Amino acid sequence: MFDRWRNSHGFGVHSPFGYQLVERVVRPCRGYAYYAYDDIDRACSSSEHRIADKAKMLLRLVCFLRPRKVFLPDYAHKAFFIAMKSPDSKIRFIRNADKAVSDCDIIATRGDEIPLEDLRSFMSLPDRTLLIKDAPQNWCGSVFEAMNEGIMIRGRRNAICISRSGMQKVSYLMYI
């Protein structure tokens, strides 16, 4: 538990890319905001503050990585679509999960909606990002094994996996 707290605040994250990811995306300094934060808050009711927080983190990640094509399930909350589209109006949404595995920069999924072998194949490619919420048991470890290089930030059942060329493969436990 202590390691998870430490890593969530950037302590013990030795990779410069990983540290920037924590500082800019996972736990940014207070006092900074993006214009789309207001749009995200308006899309969420007062009881959906956790959804708003996750959507804001997604917005920061999209700003950090600058993807061209993304997959987000059609049933996802409106706040997540706002977060994905706000940084760049040229971002294309891929609606077909099968096509997303071969064509997207970022896949955001939940549970076992996309088969594990497809996600492993996706993450074995360079410069791909997988965001998975409510991952079935052992999926995060299996996806990490498939990565050749990059970083995984993992919570209890959620993970951010970034396959990054030239980066040593590392995994950190954090509250995400």
In order, the DSSP letters of 51-106 are HHHHHHHHHHHHHHH--SEEE--TTS-HHHHHHHHTT-TTPEEE--HHHHHHH-SE
Residues 89-128: pLDDT tens digits?
A: 899 999 899 899 999 999 999 999 999 999 999 999 999 9
The answer, yes or no, to whether residue 12 has pLDDT greater than 70, is: no
Residues 47-77: pLDDT tens digits?
A: 999 999 999 999 999 999 999 999 999 999 9
Nearest to 96 by CA among 87, 112, 109, 83: 109
Nearest to 150 by CA among 15, 2, 3, 13: 15
Specify whether the CB–CB gap between 175 and 8 falls below 8 A.
yes
- Helix, strand or coil for residue 41? helix
Planar angle of CA 117, 125, 60, nearest 5 degrees: 100
The number of helix segments (H) and strand segments (E) in the chain equals 8, 7
Q: How many CA atoms lie within 13 A of 116 on its CB side?
A: 12
Q: Enumerate domains of the chain plus CATH numbers.
A: 2-173 (3.40.50)
First to last CA, the chain: 13
The answer, yes or no, to whether residue 1 has pLDDT greater than 50, is: no
The answer, yes or no, to whether residue 78 has pLDDT greater than 70, is: yes
Could you count the other beta carbons within 10 Å of the beta carbon of residue 41? 17
**What is the chain's mean pLDDT, rounded?**
89
Percent of the chain with pLDDT over 90: 68
Q: What is the pLDDT of residue 34?
A: 85
Q: What is the pLDDT of residue 4?
A: 45
Report which of residues 137 and 4 the model is more confident about.
137
What's this model's pTM, rounded to 2 decimal places? 0.88
Residue 2 pLDDT level (bands cut at 50, 70, 90): very low
